[in-house]
Amino acid sequence: MRQLFKLSLALAVGVFLLAATPTVKADAFTITSSDFSLTNLGNDGTGTPGMDSLFGAGTRATFATEAFPMGSSTFNALLNPLTFTTGFTGLNSGGSHPFTFSQAITINGQTQMLDLVGRIDIDHLVDTVHILSATPLTFNFNTFSLVIDVLPTSIEGWGAGDSHGNLVARITVNNDCNPVPEPATLTLLGIGLMGGTAAKLRQRRKKNSS
């Protein structure tokens, strides 16, 4: 009986210590995008080498899931600052030219390839590059999940030179997976455990006295 009482007391103390500990904060996530470089978009082979070209600079940003309400929420995040370099692409390069490319997206050690579809429209006065779509990526973690969905964007280039834009993604955060118990929940658990132990002790005393 004495051993049972000591075990019950130790269990109750452990539960109350957990209850007194601050609630564990939600996980953070870091989104890292890679560089990409696309050259000679629409160049018919007789134009200036390297024209038109699109360069995306890689970025890295960290966010805390606790900044978002429980459940599903969305926000926009920069994936790549873009530089569109235009110049002479050849006498027969006019019109629309589709292209595809990929870049790596890494979140908390998980890396997936983002496959994108684009188009460049070449005219006499202005060249326009479009990033039209991408297959969304889903990243699953222990306590949350993320969906990366690229937003369409376009950049116009007048004459020869550099023009700039941004490749932005809509991030959907689902952070209601495996929620951390609150201190009040742990306290109720401790009270229940102590109540059950006390009932067993009373039953044993009645049995021994009879």
pLDDT at 106 over 50: yes
Question: What DSSP designation does 25 have?
Answer: P
Angle at alpha carbon of residue 154, lines to 165 and 103, rounded to 5°: 70
**pLDDT, greater one: 67 or 127:** 127
pLDDT at 54: 97
**Reported confidence tier of residue 21, pLDDT bands at 50, 70, 90:** very low
**pLDDT, greater one: 201 or 117:** 117
DSSP string, 109-170: TEEEEEEEEEEEEE-SSEEEEEEEEE--EEEE-SS-EEEEEEPPEEEEEESSEEEEEEEEEE
> Assign residue 71 a region: left if phi > 0, alpha if psi is -120 to 50, beta otherwise?
left
Task: Give pTM, 2 decimals.
Answer: 0.71
pLDDT at 183 over 80: no
Q: Of the ranges 110-114, 127-131, 146-150, 206-210, which one carries the lowest mean pLDDT score?
A: 206-210
Q: Which amino acid is at 204?
A: R
pLDDT at 161 over 80: yes
Q: Give bridge partners of residue 157 from the DSSP assignment.
A: 127
% of the chain beyond a pLDDT of 70: 71
pLDDT at 180 over 90: no
Q: What is the mean pLDDT of residues 62-80?
A: 90
Residue with tokens 């952070």, as numbered in its chain: 175
Q: What is the mean pLDDT of residues 65-71?
A: 83
**Reported confidence tier of residue 98, pLDDT bands at 50, 70, 90:** very high
Q: Of the ranges 6-15, 26-35, 53-62, which one carries the lowest mean pLDDT score?
A: 6-15
pLDDT at 15 over 50: no
**Reported confidence tier of residue 197, pLDDT bands at 50, 70, 90:** low
Secondary structure of residue 38 in the 3-state scheme: strand
